[in-house]
Amino acid sequence: MLIVALPKGALLSDSINLFKNVGLDFSAFLDKSNRQLQITDPTNTAIGLLVRAQDVPVYVQYGQAHLGIVGYDVLREKQPRVANLVDLKFGYCRMSVAVPKSSPYKRSHLLPPHGRVASKSVKCAKEYFDSLDLPVEIIPLYGSVELGPITGMSEAIVDLVSTGRTLQENGLVEIDVLFDSTARLIAHPLSYRTNLDSLSSWVEKIRIATEEAVNGN
């Protein structure tokens, strides 16, 4: 039976709609009264697992799920051993560097050497500043990263930005974009290569459904 890892949070609703379009219904996860973390599709074709977005590639890498949906930002940060198969064209956001509006640093390369940058995405931030050949101290934060510059703990942050409203409300502005991020369909590599549980067929259905959604069909 096909096993799918679905991400809690912002990508869940669109992920469930996508699977509905290919004949799999995991909408029970949207029911606020439902506390189940594993459900079976009504057609008895697939099992859905509801997991933290950062854990989706872990379940797929270790073979506990054949397919998963996760943001490209998570793939860049975690660098899991999974097959990145389809850009699903939803969940758009960007990984950006931001500073206070009053900051004299208007571009990333102008930040002071050995300055401090707060981020949840430590690996992405380090790789970016390494590419600029700019030594900085990356401060790992897992809550409100915006507080780093507000409290004076850091000169800048590296964080995901969608509308930019949170930055604006906290007096921060973007100065550079590391990369754009969208939801991706990932698969367990061996399961995909061996076409376990007709995995290739499901991937193709999802690819077609994504194209139709983008084209408005």
Give the per-residue pLDDT at 217. Answer: 66
Architecture of domain 93-181: 3-Layer(aba) Sandwich (3.40)
Q: Does this chain's domain 2-91+182-215 share its CATH topology with 93-181?
A: yes
pLDDT digits (tens, 9 = 90+) for 79-131: 999 999 999 999 999 999 999 999 999 999 999 999 999 999 999 999 999 99
d(CA 192, CA 206): 14
C-beta atoms surrounding 204 within 10 Å:
14
d(CA 67, CA 59): 9
Structure token digits, residue 130: 């390494």
Collect the ranges in the chain with pLDDT lower than 70.
217
Q: How buried is residue 27: exposed, middle or buried, by Cβ count under 10 Å (0-12/13-18/19+)?
A: middle
**209 alpha-carbon distance from chain centroid:** 20
Question: To 10 degrees, what angle do helices 12-21 and 199-215 make?
Answer: 110
Architecture of domain 2-91+182-215: 3-Layer(aba) Sandwich (3.40)
Give the per-residue pLDDT at 215. Answer: 86
Give the per-residue pLDDT at 102. Answer: 96
The pTM of this model reads: 0.92
76: closest CA among 37, 126, 117, 31? 126
d(CA 82, CA 129): 26
Give the per-residue pLDDT at 198. Answer: 87
**Residues 6+ positions from 213 with CB-CB distance below 8 Å:** 18, 21, 89
Structure token digits, residue 173: 């502005």
Domain boundaries, the chain: 2-91+182-215, 93-181
